Amino acid sequence: MNAPHGNTAQPIGPRPSVWPGFPPAAMVALMIGLLAACTLLVIALRNHRRASMYLAFALAAVLLVFNAVYFAINRVRRGWYPVEFSHISYFVMAVSVVLGIKKLLSLAGYCSMLTGLGYILAGVVSPVSLLTTSFSAGELAISVIRHQAMWLCGLLIFLNVGKFRMRDVWIALTGIALMIGFSMLVYYGLVYPGFDEGERETMQIVAIVQGNILQYITHRPLPLIARIATSAGIGLAVVGTVVLYHVVNVRINAARRKKHARIGVKDEDYQIGLLPFLVKVLKYKGIIKRSRKSAKRGEYYNCGVL
């Protein structure tokens, strides 16, 4: 899902490292160190939902602007398109958080965590592949920072910000299916018909859907039954982890509400984003009125927060 642009078909061995003098062990240490730092930061903010939301919003805004400019420039210069699951995740997460679309937060958080963790694990398991198949040293640095930021933002949503409901699991599953469907349309030339044929054939999400992803380990074609089993296994794993993702979040928030009730702290229930802020402005100007249900629950639109 997270292979670098423009070089996925090249062999690992013959190419020199894009970071000369930087050993693979150091790459592993870098990935684990940044992962630990991001995770500890989220844990430190576990009782500070407002701060967590502002941090997630800031990260999402920066990633949205950066990736929009990044792909716009590189589409012209190098013919790069946002076609992989990870590429689409950048925008799904960023747009959902920046706009403050509460129903999409579970999809945004899951995809962000999956994208970030997938890349980090790739760097830990096969650091040589990152050091020798990346487009350049600068691109590798961008990828490391971007995916660590995706992990941080996704974990903030999952542990500190999001308040998911089990009945909304279908939203995340449908969103993932649509993202995969978009990548398949690209693969078959129905979207981005000018996309390079060689790049299209090395799309990681296509290898996963077709059950060929294990060929990166076996280095030989897999029999049909193995491909079907691989594709089905990954599909079931995604569905299972999405459900588990919601279950854990629901239990975390239930425990948090119980703790707050016990110590007499008001449970924070608001959402940062441009849409909540717009609603707040419209309510302030009297263009729209607060519903009785909203008033009864005490949900106030304050400084762009629901």
Residue 82 falls in which region: left (phi positive, over 0), alpha (psi -120 to 50) or beta: beta
160 DSSP assignment: I
As a whole number of angstroms, the distance between CA 129 and CA 15 comes to 10
As a whole number of angstroms, the distance between CA 59 and CA 57 comes to 6
Contact 115, 85 (CB under 8 A): yes
Rg (CA), the chain: 21
Q: Please provide the DSSP assignment of 268-296 as one string.
A: P---BSHHHHHHHHHHHTTSS---HHHHH
Contact 164, 65 (CB under 8 A): no
Torsions phi, psi of 305, nearest 5?
-125, 135
Contact 214, 226 (CB under 8 A): yes
pLDDT digits (tens, 9 = 90+) for 13-64: 456 888 888 889 999 999 999 999 999 999 999 989 999 999 999 999 999 9
pLDDT at 214: 79
Both tokens assigned to 305: 């927060």
Would you write out the chain's pLDDT as a tens digit for each of its 306 residues? 444 444 433 433 456 888 888 889 999 999 999 999 999 999 999 989 999 999 999 999 999 999 999 999 988 888 888 999 999 999 999 999 999 999 999 999 999 999 999 999 989 988 888 888 788 889 999 999 999 999 999 999 999 999 999 999 999 999 999 999 999 999 998 988 878 887 888 888 998 998 888 776 677 888 889 899 999 999 999 999 999 999 999 999 999 888 888 887 776 666 788 888 888 888 777 776 655 444 444 443 344 443
Q: What's the predicted TM-score (pTM) here?
A: 0.85
As a whole number of angstroms, the distance between CA 20 and CA 16 comes to 8
| Cβ partners under 8 Å of residue 212, min gap 6 | 222, 227, 230
| Cβ partners under 8 Å of residue 213, min gap 6 | 204, 207, 230, 234
Domain range annotation of the chain = 24-205, 273-306
Contact 207, 215 (CB under 8 A): yes
Q: Residue written as tokens 């941080």?
A: 152
* H/E element, 68: helix 49-77
Torsions phi, psi of 99, nearest 5?
-75, -25
* H/E element, 222: none
Contact 79, 196 (CB under 8 A): yes
pLDDT at 268: 66
The Cα-based distances of 133 to 17, 77, 88 in angstroms read 8, 19, 22
